[in-house]
Copies of this chain bind each other. A is one copy, B any other.
Amino acid sequence: MKPSIPKGTRDFSPVEMARRNYIFDTIRDVFRLYGYRQIETPSMENLSTLMGKYGEEGDKLLFKIQNSGDYFQGITDEELLSRNSLKLASKFCEKGLRYDLTVPFARFVVMHREELQFPFKRFQIQPVWRADRPQKGRYREFYQCDADVVGSDSLFYELELIQMIDTVFSRFGVRVAIKMNNRKILAGLAESVDQADRMTDITVAIDKLDKIGLDGVNAELLEKGLPQEAVDKLQPIIKLQGTNEEKLKVIETVLSGSETGLRGIEECRYILHKVSKTRLNNTLELDLTLARGLNYYTGAIFEVKALDVEIGSISGGGRYDNLTGIFGMPGVSGVGISFGADRIYDVLNQLNLYPEATVSGTKVLFLNMGEAEADFCMQVLSDLRNAGISAELYPDAAKMKKQMSYANALGVRYVAIVGGDELATGKVTLKDMESGEQQLLTSEELISALR
């Protein structure tokens, strides 16, 4: 029998793990630096918590866990023979695997509301599962890295999240464009042309300007049912260009009649003004074509693009005003961002941005030249480990060639050799595998050399 793993899942080798840990550790450090506190939730949630939260398509993509014991209980013969997969799923299964970190977080806040102090700043780094069709770069098990604040509608947190995004990618050494939109502006625009229910259509059409040109966009808007008058009024928006402030002025004119829209303008101005006073390494750009999570976000919307690699968005988020409402706790405003670890992994790989120390594990391998020599090595190994230096000994006195090829395969930088001569003097020969240089050292000298 030849073993395999389920499609869409992955094994991670030591080198891949070292790189992934570098990504997770960096993001976690930044989250902590800004005062976000870690939580974890169970991999399984009750299906009643998950169902209906991700649309009809989402319900199908949930991994459902079969009930233990007699899972046929309570199902009639007729129901069984109906073979209605979707309907019977909730009878066969009470639990499902987490689909994202947002719904479990909302459930967490509602369940623990009495113990929490608001505003509650939390971060969470855990895998999620989706029964999506696996394809290049899309997996059935993958990590999300989320930071959210709930219980405050202060725009200060939009600013804080923008700073966090900037700090994370500065640490990675990746140049990015941070793009910002505002759901209230989009709603205001749709309102201003008397097409309040066409917000998404308008946004999606405008987003195609680069691909299909101005005439194409106008044609699509008419096709979607917008009257010519509305399309005419939207012309300045479709052709929107210039600095953030120039864009805001144009938008302001078009949606001047919409209270909601003007509030969106005001929010953007406030955030841009505050951001201008901080020392951001990356640019923040107003981009009306961001249509991320429109049936979900209520204020600011963020998306981050890498400048030097062709890849989709590598981070995103926004403001939502009613996350916990679905669980019976209305009126809790929140704002959050999510980092896509798998895409960041690809970006760092392509730009070769991993610090050298990330990948190397063991610092020094002691060769094994026989029992007495190995005994002596064990003492030195203890000293090294007490000094925090990762070190190991080859397990038996195999041929030198075999031991050296093991050292090479592990990618250790240093090899330590204790033969008869070294044993007599109580010293160790340290060989730098890169330069080929050798030194005869005492235990203490060895520690300083390896530090």
Contacts and interface: CB of A to CB of B under 8 A. Distances in A.
A66 B93 contact: yes
A375 interface: yes
Interface stretch (A8-16, A431-439, A443-451): A8-16
B42 A13 contact: no
Contacts of A18: 38
Nearest to A280: B382
A117 B406 contact: yes
A95 interface: yes
B1 A328 contact: yes
Contacts of A83: 70, 72
Nearest to A392: B35
A107 interface: yes
A352 interface: no
A226 to B, nearest CB: 38
Given A156-B395, A395-B157, A2 B39 contact: no
A167 interface: yes
Q: Tell which of A37, A111, A129, A141 has the most Cβ of chain B within 10 Å.
A: A37
Contacts of A107: 3, 5
Contact residues on A (Cβ < 8 Å of other chain), bracket:
35 or more
Q: Tell which of A5, A17, A63, A274 has the most Cβ of chain B within 10 Å.
A: A5
A48 interface: yes
B392 A154 contact: no
Contact of A327 (B3, B156, B163, B361): B3
A11 B35 contact: no
A380 to B, nearest CB: 12
A169 to B, nearest CB: 15
Interface stretch (A119-127, A228-236, A310-318): A119-127
A46 interface: yes
B141 A42 contact: yes
Contact of A12 (B39, B92, B374): B39
B45 A11 contact: no
A37 B5 contact: no
A332 to B, nearest CB: 14
A203 B68 CA distance: 33
Interface stretch (A179-187, A295-303, A383-391): A383-391
B32 A14 contact: no
A62 to B, nearest CB: 9
B72 A11 contact: no
Contacts of A21: 38
Interface string A398-424: 000000001001100000000000000
Contacts of A154: 395-396
A278 B378 contact: yes
B70 A85 contact: yes
A40 interface: yes
A393 B156 contact: yes
Contacts of A46: 3-6
Contact of A9 (B42, B92, B112, B159): B42
B35 A14 contact: no
Contacts of A121: 392
B33 A388 contact: yes
A115 B72 contact: no
Interface in A12-71: 12-14, 17-18, 21, 32-35, 37-46, 48-49, 60-61, 63-66, 68-71
A391 B17 contact: no
Contact of A152 (B60, B115, B141, B396): B396
Contacts of A97: 43, 65
A156 B46 CA distance: 47
Given A35-B362, A85-B72, A406-B117, A63 B65 contact: yes
A40 B93 CA distance: 27
A4 to B, nearest CB: 6
Contacts of A115: 13
3 smallest A-B Cβ distances: which pairs? A35-B392, A9-B42, A14-B37
19 contacts: A1-B327, A2-B327, A4-B46, A5-B42, A5-B45, A6-B44, A6-B95, A9-B43, A17-B39, A21-B38, A33-B388, A35-B365, A35-B390, A63-B68, A65-B66, A65-B97, A71-B85, A152-B395, A277-B378
